[in-house]
Amino acid sequence: MAQIKAMRGTQDLLPANSHEWKFAEDLLMNIAASFGYKELRTPVFESTELFARGVGDTTDVVQKEMYTFEDKGGRSITLRPEGTAGAVRAAIEHSLLNEALPVKLSYLTSCYRYEKPQAGRLREFHQFGVECLGTASPAADAQLILFAAHIFDAFGLEGITLELNSIGCPKCRATYHAALKAYFAAHTDTLCPTCKDRLEKNPMRILDCKNPECKEIAKDAPVILDYLCEECSEHFEKVKAYLDITGVPFKVNPRIVRGLDYYTKTVFEFVSNEIGAQGTVLGGGRYDGLIEELGGKQVPALGFAMGIERLMLVLKAQNYAFPAAPTPDIFLCSIGENAFKAALTISDELCADGFAAEVDILGRSVKAQMKYANKIGAKYTAVIGDDDIEKGVLNLKNMETGESIECAFEQFVETFENEYIAYIEQHALSNTLDVGEEYDG
C-alpha cells in the first residue's frame, strides 16, 4: 500500500527537536507569568462568524486563507486562523470582564491558514499570544511592548528591530480612508481585483497587499500619521515617550497596518532580517472595538502574537544553545525473569521519586542492553542477575567516568538517588535558564 505522508504545509515535530520547542514555550509562558498573564486554552474550531466579524471580512485571512467547512449540523465552522478572536469570545462568554481589570491572558495555540507554504509560514502553525483586556492607557501599550522586548532579551537574540505605528481610531480613520480612496482611485486600472474591491470597503487593506504592482502604488499613498485626531496623536506620543524612558529602541514605520481589521491606534512589529521575506517574528497592537464587535461591553484591549516557527528559525540562525535533550538517569539491565521483575520494581520506585529510569522490554542480551543504554545516553546503569539478587549486592556504574560502586540490593534506590544528586551538583548540568523556575526578568 502507498505510504501516507503529512499534508502539505504541515510538519511533524520529532523527538530530536521537541525538547527545543518545549524549552522555548516554557520560557515564553514563564515570562508571561512574570508580567501577570494567566494561561487560556480555547477550542481549535469556532463559528465562522467569529472570525468574519472579528478579524474582518476584507482581510486576506477571511477572504482567502481560512479553513472553513460545514459540520454535520449544517453550521459553518472554521479552524482558528489566529488566537485573539477566540480569546475575546471566551472572555465575553465566561464573564471574565466582570472580574478585576485588566484581564491578562496568555496562550500557546495552533492556527490554520491556507497559504503557500514557505520558511516561517505553514498552513498549520503555532503562536504564543497574550491579551490585555480592560485598559485604554498608553502606559499599557508601552508595557506590552516592553514585555515583548523582554522575550528577545531572555533568549539573547540580536538584530531584532521594533517598528511602531498608530492607525488611529474610527473617527480619524474615516478622514484617512477618504484620502486613500482619492489616491487609489487614480490607479484603479493597475490595482489587483482584490484591492479594487477593498477600495470601497476598506482602502487601508490595500497597503497590506502582497501584489507587487499594488505595493508599488502604495509607496506614495497618504500616511495615517498625518490624519490622526488629537486624542490618537496624544496617545501615540505618550507611548513613544514611555518607550524612551525604558530605553527600548524603536523606529516609526507609518506603513504598518497589520493584517487584521480589529486593530486601532498603536500597532507594532518586531522584525528580523535573518528569516527571509517573512521577517515579522512578533506583532500586535491595540484593538479597542473588538470586544464590543463580538457582543461584549465597550472595553479597550490590546495584545500580541509570536509565531513559534519563526522564533525557532531566528534561534537556529543565531546558533542558539538549547539545553541538551533529556536522557535517562539510569538504565537497569536484567538477566532472566526474576531479574527483570526486580529491575521493573526498582525503576517504578525511581520513577515515582521523579527520576527517569528505564528497563529492557525487548529481552536483549546484556551486551545489547548496555549498547542501548549507551546509545540513549543513560547517565548510570546497573546489571541485575539472579546471582546479584541472591547475594543482595548490585553494582551501580557511572557511564561518564566508568566508575562502579557496590551497594546493598535493599539500599540500591537510596544509594542511586544520593549518587545522582552529587552528580548533578558536580556537573551543573544546565548553565541556561531553568524553565522550571519562575522567570525573574
The tens digit of pLDDT for each residue in 398-410 reads 999 999 999 999 9
Q: What pLDDT shows up at residue 258? A: 79
> Which residue has better confidence, 273 or 404?
404
Q: At which residue does the C-alpha cell 503557500 appear?
A: 116
Looking from the CA of 116 toward its CB, the CA atoms found within 13 Å total: 3
Residue 272 near residue 250, CB atoms below 8 Å = no
What per-residue confidence (pLDDT) applies to 55?
Answer: 87
* Distance set, CA 237 to CA 27, 132, 229, 255, 265 (Å): 32, 21, 12, 17, 11
**C-beta neighbour count of 409 within 10 angstroms:** 16
pLDDT recorded at residue 274? 78
Q: What is the pLDDT of residue 277?
A: 62
Mean pLDDT, residues 136-148: 97
Alpha helices (H) along 286-435? 290-293, 308-317, 337-352, 366-375, 386-391, 412-427
Find cell 560502586 and name the residue. 405
When pLDDT is cut at 50, 70 and 90, the band that residue 207 belongs to is: confident
Q: Average of pLDDT values for 338-346?
A: 95
CB 394 within 8 A of CB 406: yes
Confirm if 192 and 287 have CB atoms less than 8 A apart: no
Amino acid at 332: L
Burial 239-254 (b: 16+ CB within 10 A, else e): bbebbeeeebebeeeb
pLDDT digits (tens, 9 = 90+) for 13-39: 999 999 999 999 999 999 999 999 999
Confidence of residue 430 (pLDDT cuts 50, 70, 90): very low
pLDDT higher than threshold 90 for residue 44: yes
Q: Which of 124, 121, 264, 125 is nearest to 204 (CA)?
A: 264
For the record, the C-alpha cell of 18 comes out as 521537541
The answer on pLDDT for 386 being more than 50 is yes
Can you give the pLDDT at residue 119? 77
User: CA geometry: angle at 218 spanning 66 and 145, to 5°?
Assistant: 65
Report the candidate in 356, 334, 338 with the shortest Cα–Cα distance to residue 347: 356
Cβ contact 118:309 at 8 Å? no
CA distance 405 to 123: 54
The C-alpha cell that represents 322 in the structure block: 538549547
- Mean pLDDT on 190-204: 87
Go through the domains of the chain in sequence order and give each one's CATH number: 15-169+229-317 (3.30.930.10), 330-425 (3.40.50.800)
Average pLDDT, the chain: 91
Calpha distance 368→387 (Å, rounded): 20
Exposure string over 38-67, b if 16+ CB within 10 A, otherwise e: eebebeebbebebbbbbbbebbbbbeebbb
The four Cα atoms 56, 62, 66, 70 give a dihedral, to 10 degrees, of 90
Interval 407-433 mean pLDDT: 79
Angle at 28 between CA 141 and CA 101, to 5 degrees: 40
Q: Which residue is listed with cell 482602502? A: 203
Q: What's the burial of 371, exposed, middle or buried (CB within 10 Å: 0-12/13-18/19+)?
A: exposed
Cell 505553514, residue?
122
- In this predicted structure, the answer to whether residue 435 has a pLDDT above a threshold of 80 is no
319: left (phi over 0), alpha (psi -120 to 50) or beta: left
Name residue 284's beta-bridge partners.
268, 304
Amino acid identity of 94?
H
Q: All 3 cell numbers of residue 210? A: 502582497
Q: Tally the residues of the chain.
A: 441
Q: CA 389: distance to chain centroid?
A: 50
**What's the CA gap between 431 and 17, in Å, rounded?**
19
Q: According to the model, what pLDDT value does residue 434 have?
A: 45
Q: Beta strands 124-133 and 301-307: pairing type?
A: antiparallel
Cα–Cα distance for residue pair 122/67, rounded to 1 Å: 13
Helices 337-352/412-427 angle, 10° precision: 50
The percentage of residues in the chain with a pLDDT greater than 90, rounded to a whole number, is 77
Report the range out of 131-140, 182-191, 317-326 with the highest average pLDDT.
Answer: 131-140
Q: How many angstroms separate the first and last alpha carbons of the chain?
A: 54
Q: Return the minimum-mean-pLDDT range out of 77-91, 201-215, 286-300, 353-367.
A: 201-215
353 touches 414 (CB < 8 A): no
Q: How many CB atoms lie within 10 A of CB 311?
A: 27
Q: What pLDDT is attached to residue 436?
A: 39
Preceding omega of 81 cis (within 30 degrees of 0): no
* Local structure of residue 322 (DSSP, 8 states): P
